[in-house]
Amino acid sequence: MSGALKEVRNRIKSVQSTQQITKAMKMVSAAKLRRAQDAITQMRPYARKLQEMLSNIVSNGEGDINIKLASQRPVEKVLVIVVTSDRGLCGGYNSNLIKLAKQTIREKYSAQSAKGNAQILPIGKKGYEHFTKNNFKVEDHYWNIFTDLSFEKVQTAAKFAMDAFASGAVDAVELVYSEFKNAATQRFVVEQFLPVPKTEKKEGNKQADFIFEPDKNILIEELMPKILNTQLYKAILDANASEHGARMTAMDKATENANELLKSLKISYNRARQAAITTELTEIVSGAAALQG
């Protein structure tokens, strides 16, 4: 019985150690989440307005201006930007993003994929490792952006995608990432990055009337890449906040599960200890009775 008691005691110590780690990780993620949430909250209205402006320019300028990054053409080759995290222990966050990216390729670009014309641009170590290991065609220069996240580093990845589209190396660029809602909720989304999507024209809606100064073509040629850089940066800030929220929630749940497991183990330990005491008492009483007899 002492062996059983020792085993339960060891398990209790092990669970307590794990619980301390999960508590610490939850606190670290909560601190990082606050900063990441502030960053995306401040960025989102600016990025949304720029996106609206860009879509309006593309929609209303059709036939009037030559916009390379908005040109629609048959999709022979596709690039999928998949934003995952560098580290795990964040529940189903990474697996859901990878699953969504694969589903998008399977449902939307199966013909291109069959010809080897579907390329992945992973941002985040987990996505890079998965797609490399599973023999996808991977662009491997931008996966470590999160090691030192900055607008300049994101800009290099956005420029790669824009140059590939402008040169005809790819005909469409899709963006798969997690949109931050709150600490416990993330929305996994697929957005068309290139060609620049147009706004849907609805009856009764007035067209935006833009005044361009200096020249319309020169201004749009300069403005469009800057807006697209901002859009990718916004998506990566969303993903950064989502990751910390997912990890904080996962570690909170793990801590709760450890509490439940500790309760169960302590009950098992007490039962085993009582059984051992009862056995010892029985042996003592039996021994005393034998001596008296």
**46 tagged catalytic:** no
pTM greater than 0.85 (yes/no): yes
Looking at residue 179, what is its pLDDT? 96
Query: Which of 36, 78, 79, 90 does the annotation list as catalytic?
Result: 90
**pLDDT tens digits along 229-256:** 999 999 999 999 999 999 999 999 999 9
pLDDT of residue 110: 96
- Domain made up of 21-199+209-251: CATH architecture: 3-Layer(aba) Sandwich (3.40)
Q: Say how many CA atoms lie within 13 Å of 283 toward its Cβ.
A: 6
Q: Which of 167, 169, 175, 219 is nearest to 196 (CA)?
A: 175
**pLDDT value of residue 61:** 61
Q: What is the pLDDT of residue 236?
A: 97
Taking the mean position of all CA atoms in its chain, how far away is CA 191? 14
pLDDT digits (tens, 9 = 90+) for 187-214: 999 999 999 887 765 555 566 666 777 7
Q: What is the pLDDT of residues 91-121, one digit of tens each?
A: 999 999 999 999 999 999 999 999 999 999 9
b/e burial code for range 180-214 (CB count within 10 A of at least 16 → b): beebeebebebeebbbbbbbeeeeeeeeeeeeeee
Residues of the chain with pLDDT under 70: 1-2, 60-66, 200-210, 293
Predicted pLDDT of residue 203: 55
Q: Distance between CA atoms of 105 and 146, rounded to whole angstroms? A: 25
Contact 122, 84 (CB under 8 A): yes
Nearest to 106 by CA among 169, 174, 6: 174
pLDDT of residue 260: 95
Question: How many CB atoms lie under 10 A from the CB of residue 4?
Answer: 14
With 0-12 / 13-18 / 19 or more C-beta atoms within 10 angstroms meaning exposed / middle / buried, residue 289 is exposed
